[in-house]
Every structure is written in structure tokens, then in C-alpha cells.
Structure 1
Amino acid sequence: MPQAAAPTLGALLRNLRSREGWTLKQMSAKSGIPVSTLSKVEHDRLTLTYDKLYQLSQKLGLRMSELFAEPGDEVAPPVTARRSLGSLATAVRVETPNYDYYYLCTELRRKRMIPVITKIRAKSEEQFGKLVHHAGEEYIYVLSGRIVVNTEFYDPVTLDEGQSIYIDSSMGHAYLAAEGCDEAEVLGVMSSADDELMHSLLSIHEVQRGAEPVAASARGAANC
């Protein structure tokens, strides 16, 4: 079977522009190379000297090797094959005056998602205290009962069993048991690019507990 021909410099530049969504004029402004020159290169009517290629890579903030990387050359991320089963019986429990938290799948370290079942008892803003902020985003699904979601930039919203909400966690927020509901239960999934999200959440719990040390039953979650 004949070997596929290597892509020309013109094809490589067209692919680069396509990946970045640039016009010829935009690439010219960024690289300092005239539009007419870039156009001729892309149509294989002209090539660039090493100096010009170096200028292109420096101006665009690229490594020289990136100018010759086809999209198909990208290496797929490795499959980690991580798996964990979770249940309330094996969850790490953290108690605060407002909530009982049940952290699931805590044996997995450096998770980008933190799944947790929460039982909500606080019924007023005064009882809850200051709104909570932390990195990332979160999704809350009401398993039972009825809750009121208070957020920094929106009016309160009431969620019944089977309803859910997705929010930016850096926005101040609080979940309260709605009027007539003694305790609500929700499934929450917190997500962040921060590998230390679990530590941040436990720090919030300490504040909710009145700056007391986190309970011994919660210490295991700090290594998740």
C-alpha cells in the first residue's frame, strides 16, 4: 500500500488557521507576515524560510513542532478505568447544624466530581448564616421533600421532589428546607478543575460547625 504523502506547509497552515478560527488577515496581524505571503504559502506557491517559520511560531505562541502537527496526530487521553460503588452505608458522614452530608465514593482520590447525599434541616436565612461560596459548579436534585434555593444574584426558587438546579458554585448560595418540610434530601454533584475541591468543602463544613474540628468520621474524606 503506498505511503500517504506528507502534508505541505500550505496545508499545515490552513489546518492551523481552521483550528484557531482565524482569517488570513487575523493570522497576518498576529504573525507579522503579510497576507499576500501567507496566501501564497497556503496555495503552495511559496514556502517560508526557517527564520520566517520561527517568527510565525514565536508570534503565535506556538512550538515549532505545533506548526507541523496534524489534528489526527493528537494523542488520546489514557483510560483510567476508575470505578467506585457508593451507598449511604459506606458513605463518609459529616454533621453540621444545618445539614447531614453523606460523601460517596470517597476511596477515589483527586476526583473532579464530588457526589454527596445531603439532608437539609435549616429553614431560614438566619438559621443558615452567610451564603456559601466555593470553586466550580454544582448540580442539585431533590430526592424527597421540598427546598428553597437562595443565591447571590437571583430571587429564591422553590424546588419540589424530582426537580433540580445547576449553578455556579462561586456564586453565594444556600439550600433551605421549605415551609412545612422538616427535612429534605437531595443528591448533589460538585465539580471543579481544582483537585483540592474536597478540602475546600470540608473547610466550609468547619465554619458551619462553628469552627469546630471536622468530625473524625469526616477525616477520611479529606484524602479523596
Structure 2
Amino acid sequence: MMDNRIRYKIAEAARMAGVSPSTLRLWESQGLVDPVRTDSGQRLYDSAHVERLKRISWLRLDKGLNPAAIRETLKSEEQDGTEETPAEVGSSSGGRTIGAKLRHLRREMGCTLEKVAATTGIASSLLSTFERTSQGLSVKALHDLAGFYGTTIAALTGQAETSARESLVRNGDWTAWPPTSSGVTVQNLTIDRRQMECHRFQLAPGASSEGAYSHAGEEFLHVLVGRMELILDGDQFFELREGDSFYFESRRPHSWRNSNDGETVLIWVNTPPTF
């Protein structure tokens, strides 16, 4: 029987999925999609491929899943015939709240609140409250929780990864993380996170990370207003004043607090995007 399905070249399929052709080649190398190949080696995509590409993009950007998790999710959906789509997940911002995302990840892993609490050291009551309200966890706790689920805070809060060459964000037009921690406001200074995470931190008097955390990468911060204390390795104390800059390796356990009587504002850059 003749196959009359419409097939698209890689550039057309990429445009329909909202990504670049190089991204499709990468997803193919990661085993996420298997296009048809002509005798000459040209890649062709039918409508089912395009829908799969859109699904992969949503899992990657909205849920922050890595390739291995995306493969498992797609495999599971194919086996039981279920699929959760963006239209099925509601929130005021058009997608899941960060708490709902974490609840979904927990259920996907088959974990109870008690198991997550035992592993992360975060009380199950706090975890339950956060899943419902997206509030009540410190920066350290949220970082540890993201690590447990194999993702990052930036991915959970919707700082998407894009193929755009430029990122212009006007003064005051920053998107912000949900108010997860008392006295800590974190605003995204870019609309993507390809190689760096660029944030503007506003710390109320006494606000802190509430504990030390570490991750892969390097960090740079610059104090715009106020004063803060940064602690590395648990025993190295640095007081940073207005105009001061600081660089360190993210693998070193670090914690911080606003040591100013008023608000402290700083620019904080992480690379690669592992925070």
C-alpha cells in the first residue's frame, strides 16, 4: 500500500515544533525522536513526529526534564496511552505552579512525602504546604528539593532555555520566582538560560539562605545596594559591601544572609545553569 502521509524536511519540522534544526539533531542523538531517512540520508518527519517534537519541547521547557527523564515519560505514556498536555495543567501563569510541578515529579517517581522528607531533611508538613501553595521553603531547601528530583530551581520557575541569540529585558520588566522564601525576592534578568543564570536578588533585613548548599559550576555576584555576608565551606566569612564583587566555585558549600539594616540588592550569575 502506498504511504500517502505528508512528510516535512528538518527545517519545516523544527519551525512547526518551535525549535531549531540543530535541536532536532540533538534530540535524535539522545534517542528522543527517530525520523524517517531517505536513501540519500535526508531526515523526514511526519505529523506524528511533529507532535512528538512538540511534546518533547514541552517536557523540556515546562517541566525541566532531562533527556533520560523525557525518554521514560514518553515510554510510559506510550505504554498506558495517557498523556498530560499543557492545556490540562492550569495556573495563573499558563502552566503549573512550582509547588504543583514538584508534586507531579514526586508522584512520577512514586515517592511519598515521608520518603522525600527522609531523604532531603525537609519536614513532610512543609513539603505538603509547599506543594499546595508554592510558599514556605528557604532557598537552600528548594535547591535541595530540585536536586532530589534531578532538576534546577530555574527550570522549575520557568526560566526557559531558548535558541534566541539575544535577550533584551527592559528595566523593571523582570519575571520573578514565586515568593518561596521569606524576605527573598529573585528576579530573572534574562528570558533564557543557555549558559548562564542571571538573577537580581532583593534581600529584606535578616533574609538568608537558611543553610548551605552546593552544586556544579561557578558563581559571580555584585552588590548594588546594602551589605551581605557570604560563608564558604562553613568557616570562611566574607562581608560584601555596596560595589563589591565576588567569584567562587559553586561546588563549595555556601550560605548567605543580609547583614544590612535595610534592603540589600545584588546581581548573581551562575554558570552553567545548575542552580
TM-score by length of 2: 0.37
Larger Rg: 1
RCO (CA 8 Å, sep 6+): is it higher in 1 or 2?
Answer: 1
